[in-house]
Amino acid sequence: MRPLTEDETSLVFAKLASFIGDNVSMLIDRNDGDYCFRNHKERVYYCSENLMRQAACISREPLLSFGTCLGKFTKSKKFHLQITALDYLAPYAKFKVWLKPNAEQQFLYGNNILKSGIARMTDGTPTHAGIVVYSMTDVPLGFGVSAKGTADSKRADPTALVVLHQCDLGEYLRNESHLN
Amino acid sequence: MFITRIFSARISNLVFLNFILIDSKRNDANLVSREMAIQKKKKVAAAAVAAPEDPKKAVKRPVEASAPTPKKKKKVVVKNGGDVSAKKKKVVKKVKKVTEEEEEPVEKEVSKLQLLDDDDEEGLDGLDFTQQEGSDDDDLRDDYSDDDDDDLPIEKKSAALDKKKEKILKEGEEELQLNIANQATFELPSVEEIENEMKSVPNLEIIKQRIADVIQVLGDFKNRRDPAKSRTQYVEVLKKDLCSQYGYNDYLMGKFMDLFPNGAELLEFLEANDNPRPVTIRANSLKVKRRDLAKNLINRGMNVDPAAEWTKVGLVVYDSQVPVGATPEYLAGHYMIQGLNSLLPVMALAPQPGDRVLDMCSAPGGKTSHIAALMKNSGTLFANDASFDRCRAIIGNLHRLGVNNAVVCNLGGEEFSKIKPNGFDRILLDAPCSGTGVIWKDQSVKTSKDSQDVQRRHTVQRQLILSALDSLDANSPNGGYLVYSTCSVLVEENEAVVNFLLERRHCELVPTGLAIGVDGYTRFRDYRFHPSLSMTKRYYPHVHNIDGFYVAKIKKLSNAKMSKQAVLEMEKEKASAKSQKKKQAAEEAEDSEEESGDEEKAQNGKANGKAEAGKKKNKKKGGDDSDDDEDVETAPMKNIGSGARANKKRRNQKKAAAKQAAVKEDDGFNTVGNVKRAKKPTQFKSKVPKRAAARTGAKSVKNRRKKMLAKQQP
């Protein structure tokens, strides 16, 4: 367990910012205590300072997780968000998309979102922006990248891809073993 | 003639009644009604045997006479009992097959029955005798009117009667046979016979019947037993049968039979082990309210209901059109699939927001997430499991359910006492166990567990519970609680482990605060546990319709790593050391005083001086006693009692010492006022207690011998 280096920090924050924009600062300046990012076995964990100290008394090998795992660094030093980060992305998300009930299941099985499955979308979504996917009952289901902006998708035909899948809740079942 | 007729009518009546009883018995699975039926049957059998005694002589003649009687009569007679007798014959055959080994003569059995029951005959006769007789008469009259042959009517009548009687007698005999055959379960087969039976294709019906019968015998062993067989034989047979019926191994069935000595309850328990419990889910209060969740799930096509009145988060799922473990609500972490029993230890633990909590064996994270929900995601929560693969499930579940105050680690439970000694406010130890409470989930438990497995679990559990208590902080402001739970019903894994902890560490049991459950055992067979173990709770599948479970809540009293008694003793020692120190200090002070007083002593003269020194010493002792000891030495005793007795003893000692001193000072002229009592001549007092002496006295020996002889002679 160690604090993130400069490079790592910028990578992580850039990724987070693509989803929640300036709200990244809300993750650090919290009024309910000090929160920090830690790198443990090439995974980034976000937790309170107090919890981090407590976790530090367990040695590296047996310590599997603490706080919330946001994502991991790949071998080529890119940062990938994981579905576990959804708890922090969803409340602050800048761009959102709401799915029709019959498209929910499609998305939860790991498929991209077609235009026909979209019920609503945040106005002014640019292309290639991080976008959080909601069900009609406002339950966050996952996140992805917009393949088309709001304006483009209005003109597109119903089978066109609008959101590219990155993570969805179905991963809790599909690859539970890769979460840590 | 008239007499024979009455007899025959009576017998037919009885036999008829008997048939009814048999039929009712067949339909009725209820044990109680069965019991009654058997008792009635006994009476009937007795009556049937008692009746034919005198008519037998009369039988011979009419049989000869009835040779030329027309066939029609026979038909009528057959009509009376035709279908019933066929049925009965079948039964007889069947039962005969079962009890071919039976050798005991019928006569004997019958006479026994008679002896038992003949006083009840009268009452039975009076039941509906008249009506039955009337119907018989009608039949006879019909016969009579139809046939007008060369015989006299009265002869015909008698012939018909005899025919009928013969028939009835036959039936009665068969009936008797059947009765006896039915009671043949009292005639217990040996264990070897059963084992042989098992090797061939076992007949489930027979086994079921035998189980019921043996349990019935054991219910009132004194009266229903076969005097030649012992209780252990009955129990042995029952065990074998139950093992084959339900598929358990001998060891486990023995354990269950010990746990449930009542046969009916045992059967209930075994049945409950084969039936699945309803699917229950826990609403995740971090994300959603139970009411909203229920509404959403009902919209999805699931039929849910609040699970029980003692839980605010449990929901029971009756049926569902969608998979319960794959709905979007499940994936979003709105609920967790877990048994109702796993809510119990967490409720007993009652974690507070801000606590430091450890869940020692947490996989797959159901209880852990429940704890986190109760803590409202504050404080720290350590989720540990010894198996790495199962730890993955914890991580997934905790993240899914939105728990962010948790640390997941993969350590042996024993490590925590080393890395974080006294570091937690509350600990939940859901110990690995044999799983005898959740047999419906894993049927392999029935055969795979033996005494060694249980012994191993017991050992591991003891290590874990010690480690858990050592990592608990006794001085935490609102904590210091350990909850021990298992999903086993065996005493070895539950009460015995907790009792072990009570012996080894300074802790005590506290009420679990759970509304339901059976109290834990304080004594079980050869175990004798601490009486406070009645504060623990047990759960059984057949009683509470949740998995078999055990919950104990323990409060740590101090961080000392020793037993309660050792702690008390240590306190005492400390106190006495303190008092001794004080004493020494006081003595030193006294010494300096004595030195100053030496000059006076020289003036007074040698003879007096000695006495005075003695007095001083005594005084000093007395003073010490009164001042220091009462304050300090009784300090640890205050924990135990009021100390009144000790104080009284001390007072008396002081008095006696003062008296002695006074006597010593007496110069023989009785100037001090204390009269020395003349010593009584010492009486002889045997060191052997009176009772013991009596036991070897000549008279008692004689008496005993007499008794023994009297016993041997008959």
Domain residues of chain B, as ranges? 2-185, 191-274, 339-556
> Which residues in chain B are closer than 8 Å to A169, comparing Cβ atoms?
328, 331-332, 400
The answer on pLDDT for A9 being more than 50 is yes
Is A39 within a domain? yes
> Which residues in chain A are closer than 8 Å to B393, comparing Cβ atoms?
176
Are residue A159 and residue A113 in the same domain, yes or no? yes
Please tell me if residue B391 touches chain A, with a CB cutoff of 8 Å.
Answer: yes
Per 3-state DSSP, chain B is made up of helix, strand and coil in percentages (nearest 5) of: 60, 10, 30
Residue B396 identity? G
Give me the half-sphere count of Cα atoms (radius 13 Å) on the Cβ side of residue B590. Answer: 15
Reading the block at residue B290, the tokens are 């139970």
Residues B276, B439: Cα–Cα separation, whole Å: 9
Q: What domain range includes position A121?
A: 93-174
From residue B709, alpha-carbon distances to B589, B694, B696, B714 in Å are 77, 21, 18, 9
Maximum separation of any 2 CA atoms in chain A, in Å: 57
Domain boundary among A85, A107, A129: A85
Are residue A73 and residue A114 in the same domain, yes or no? no
Considering only CB atoms, B408 lies closest to which of A65, A105, A141, namely A65
Considering only CB atoms, A69 lies closest to which of B329, B391, B399, namely B399
If residue A37 lies in a helix (H) or strand (E), which one and from where to where? strand A35-40
Are the beta carbons of A87 and B404 separated by less than 8 Å?
A: yes
Nearest Cα of chain B lies from the Cα of A51 at a distance, in angstroms, of 6
Are the beta carbons of B396 and A176 separated by less than 8 Å?
A: yes
Q: Name the β-bridge partners of A38.
A: A3, A45
Q: What is the pTM of this model?
A: 0.66
Are residue A75 and residue A105 in the same domain, yes or no? no
At B167 the pLDDT is 85
Are residue A113 and residue A81 in the same domain, yes or no? no
**Nearest residue of chain B to residue A106 (CA atoms):** B328
Nearest Cα of chain B lies from the Cα of A153 at a distance, in angstroms, of 26
Are residue A146 and residue A130 in the same domain, yes or no? yes
Considering only CB atoms, A62 lies closest to which of B331, B396, B409, namely B409
Residues B38, B18: Cα–Cα separation, whole Å: 10
Residues of chain B with pLDDT under 50: 1-4, 9, 12, 14-33, 37, 44-86, 88, 91-92, 95, 98-147, 184-185, 599-638
Binding residues of B for S-adenosyl-L-methionine: 361-367, 385, 430
As for the ipTM of the complex, it is: 0.96
φ/ψ (deg, to 5) at A131: -140, 135
Which one of A27, A63, A86, A172 would you mutate to disrupt binding with B, by most B Cβ within 10 Å of its Cβ?
A172
At B133 the pLDDT is 43
From residue B178, alpha-carbon distances to B19, B93, B129 in Å are 11, 9, 24
Structure letter (DSSP) for residue B54:
T
Are the beta carbons of A66 and B407 separated by less than 8 Å?
A: yes
Are residue A63 and residue A121 in the same domain, yes or no? no
At B54 the pLDDT is 45
Please tell me if residue A58 touches chain B, with a CB cutoff of 8 Å.
Answer: yes
Which one of A30, A139, A143, A168 would you mutate to disrupt binding with B, by most B Cβ within 10 Å of its Cβ?
A139
At B283 the pLDDT is 95
Are residue A70 and residue A116 in the same domain, yes or no? no
**Nearest residue of chain A to residue B412 (CA atoms):** A62
Peptide bond into B681 cis (omega under 30): no
Nearest Cα of chain A lies from the Cα of B200 at a distance, in angstroms, of 48
Question: CB-based contacts of B341: which residues, under 8 Å, 6+ apart?
Answer: B437, B487, B539, B546, B547, B549
At B19 the pLDDT is 46
At B187 the pLDDT is 66
Check: CATH 3.40.50.150 for B339-556? yes
Are the beta carbons of A67 and B404 separated by less than 8 Å?
A: yes
At B211 the pLDDT is 87
Considering only CB atoms, B328 lies closest to which of A61, A64, A135, namely A135
The single residue listed with the structure tokens 């997934």 is: B396
CATH number at A132 reads 2.30.130.10
B243 classed as catalytic: no
b/e burial code for range B173-199 (CB count within 10 A of at least 16 → b): ebbbbbbbbbbbbbbbbeeeebeebee
Residue A62's nearest CA partner among B636, B386, B149 is: B386
Mean pLDDT for the stretch of residues A123-140: 93
Residues B539, B277: Cα–Cα separation, whole Å: 14
Are residue A11 and residue A81 in the same domain, yes or no? yes
Structure letter (DSSP) for residue B708:
H
Are residue A23 and residue A73 in the same domain, yes or no? yes
Rounded to the nearest integer, the mean pLDDT of chain A is 92
Are the beta carbons of A68 and B380 separated by less than 8 Å?
A: no
Reading the block at residue B201, the tokens are 């294709």
Residue B232 identity? T
Please tell me if residue B398 touches chain A, with a CB cutoff of 8 Å.
Answer: yes
Q: What angle is formed at CA B340 by the lines to CA B337 and CA B346, rounded to 5 degrees? A: 95
Are the beta carbons of A66 and B399 separated by less than 8 Å?
A: no
Total domains in chain A come to 2
Q: What is the CA radius of gyration of chain A?
A: 17
Are the beta carbons of A57 and B408 separated by less than 8 Å?
A: no
**Nearest residue of chain B to residue A61 (CA atoms):** B410
Are residue A104 and residue A166 in the same domain, yes or no? yes
Is A24 within a domain? yes
Nearest Cα of chain A lies from the Cα of B246 at a distance, in angstroms, of 36
DSSP string of B12-32, one letter each residue? HHHHHHHHHHHHHHHH---HH
Residues A118, A98: Cα–Cα separation, whole Å: 6
Nearest Cα of chain B lies from the Cα of A116 at a distance, in angstroms, of 20
Is A51 within a domain? yes
Residues B315, B307: Cα–Cα separation, whole Å: 5
Domain boundary among A54, A85, A116: A85
CATH number at A26 reads 3.10.450.220
Are the beta carbons of A54 and B405 separated by less than 8 Å?
A: no
Are the beta carbons of A65 and B398 separated by less than 8 Å?
A: yes
Are the beta carbons of A54 and B380 separated by less than 8 Å?
A: yes
> Which residues in chain A are closer than 8 Å to B409, comparing Cβ atoms?
58, 62-64
Residues B370, B336: Cα–Cα separation, whole Å: 9
Bin B545: left if φ > 0, else alpha if -120 < ψ < 50, else beta: left
Are residue A52 and residue A101 in the same domain, yes or no? no
* C-alpha dihedral sign at B306, B310, B313, B316: negative
Check if the beta carbon of residue B242 is closer than 8 Å to that of residue B255.
Answer: no
Are the beta carbons of A141 and B409 separated by less than 8 Å?
A: no
Are the beta carbons of B409 and A58 separated by less than 8 Å?
A: yes
Burial of B228 (0-12, 13-18, 19+ CB in 10 A): exposed
Rounded to the nearest integer, the mean pLDDT of chain B is 75
Residues B493, B501: Cα–Cα separation, whole Å: 12
Is A180 within a domain? no
Identified catalytic residue from B391, B433, B487, B507: B487
At A140, is the secondary structure helix, strand, or coil? strand
> Which residues in chain A are closer than 8 Å to B411, comparing Cβ atoms?
58, 62
φ/ψ (deg, to 5) at B180: -65, -40
φ/ψ (deg, to 5) at B358: -125, 130
Binding residues of B: 361-367, 385, 430
Considering only CB atoms, B395 lies closest to which of A47, A65, A137, namely A65
Nearest Cα of chain B lies from the Cα of A14 at a distance, in angstroms, of 23
